[in-house]
Structure formats: C-alpha cells, structure tokens
C-alpha cells in the first residue's frame, strides 16, 4: 500500500504541470504534455548484476514557450542478474526534472528536441540469502529525440529518445545509455 501511495503521489506530481494549462498568457504556448514510454538501457553490471534493463516510465510537462518545456519524469526498472555467483534482483527508480528545447521544422509532424535534467536515482539490490542493499544519488541526464505527431488533430505523438543518465550509487560512478519509445498527448491549446 505504501508503494502504491508513493507511485500515485509521483504521478500527481508529474502530471500537475501538464494539467496546469493557462490560456491567458500570450507568451506561453498554453499547453502541456502527458505520456509514457518503454525503454532499454545498459546498466552497471558490477553494482546491479545486470548488463541491461527494461524501463517503464511516465512523463508530464508544461510548455512555457513554443520551444521550451519543463517536464517531470518517473521511470522504474527491475532485472535479475548475478554478482560473483550470487543471484540478485535489482530495482532502479529515477525521478527527474528535465528541460526540453523543441525545434519546429517546416514539417509539423516532426518535433525534434534536446533535453537536460537533474533528479534522483534509487537502486535496491536483493541478493538471495544475503539481504538487501539500497543506495541513492543525485542523477544528471542529457539526451535528445523526436516526437512524430499522428492523426488529424496532431495531438498524439510517438516519442522516441536517446539519453545518458549519470549517477553515483554504491560508490561507483556510472553512465547508463537508454533508448526509449512511447506515446505522448498534447494538452491545452
């Protein structure tokens, strides 16, 4: 129950900027974005016991201008692996605040972007028979990608990105590369 409430709180926190649409500001795009994604990333096998992990995440953002967006991101992954012959189950959760700069080429269907963010990375490693170890650290993220808008109203898009997340868990500095694909919906104007 405690995890569910934490997850529900995270969803509300991330969705709030996307739902707080103000139509009275002429300098604002007056909209937001809400979406989810599935990703594949490389992780540090020395600390997690796995080389790769599948991520599931949600994002919500607010467009301050046509080009600049601020978004919240929550992603989680769970993998099983082996460290020195011991089976381990690893869970990683990431909570980020990202700034996106959107490019608007002549074709309105494609909106490429670059992003950078800061947040928190939590890792829990459960070694069978030996107990659980947890650690967290500040995380930094950079990346880029594109949204491909579909449909007549162009409010739904396929979002794909490539990002690098740097953290320092269990006294080991690591950079994880993640490729993500998902769907996103524009809110507001």
Full residue range of the structural domain in which residue 82 is found: 2-21+29-188
Question: What is the mean pLDDT for each group of 10 consecutive residues in the chain (189 residues)?
Answer: 47 48 44 93 59 87 94 90 75 94 87 96 83 89 95 92 90 87 90
The pTM for the full model equals 0.76
- How many folded domains does the chain comprise? 1
- pLDDT the model gives residue 49: 52
- pLDDT the model gives residue 181: 96
- pLDDT the model gives residue 4: 45
- pLDDT the model gives residue 25: 38
Which residues in 6-32 are b (16+ Cβ under 10 Å) and which e?
Answer: eeeebeeebbebbeebeeeeeebbbbb
- pLDDT the model gives residue 28: 47
Give the domain CATH number at 113: 2.40.160.20
Alpha-carbon dihedral angle through residues 143, 149, 155, 160, given to the nearest 10 degrees: -30
- pLDDT the model gives residue 21: 42
- pLDDT the model gives residue 29: 59
């Amino acid at each position: 129950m405690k995890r569910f409430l934490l997850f529900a709180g995270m969803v509300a926190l991330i969705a709030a900027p996307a739902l707080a649409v103000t139509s009275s500001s002429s300098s604002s795009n007056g909209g937001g974005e809400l979406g989810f994604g599935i990703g594949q990333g490389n992780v540090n096998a020395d600390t997690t016991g796995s080389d790769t992990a599948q991520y599931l995440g949600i994002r919500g953002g607010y467009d301050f201008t046509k080009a600049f967006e601020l978004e919240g991101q929550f992603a989680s992954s769970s993998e099983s692996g082996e460290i020195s012959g011991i089976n381990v189950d690893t869970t990683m959760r990431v909570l980020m605040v990202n700034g996106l700069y959107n490019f608007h080429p002549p074709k309105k269907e494609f909106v490429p972007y670059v992003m950078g963010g800061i947040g928190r990375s939590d890792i829990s490693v459960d070694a069978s028979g030996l107990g659980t170890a947890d650690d967290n650290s500040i995380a930094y993220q950079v990346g880029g990608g594109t949204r491909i808008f579909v449909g007549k109203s162009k409010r739904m898009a396929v979002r794909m990105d490539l990002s690098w997340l740097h953290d320092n868990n269990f006294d080991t500095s690591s950079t994880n590369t993640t490729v993500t694909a998902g769907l996103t919906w524009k809110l507001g104007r």
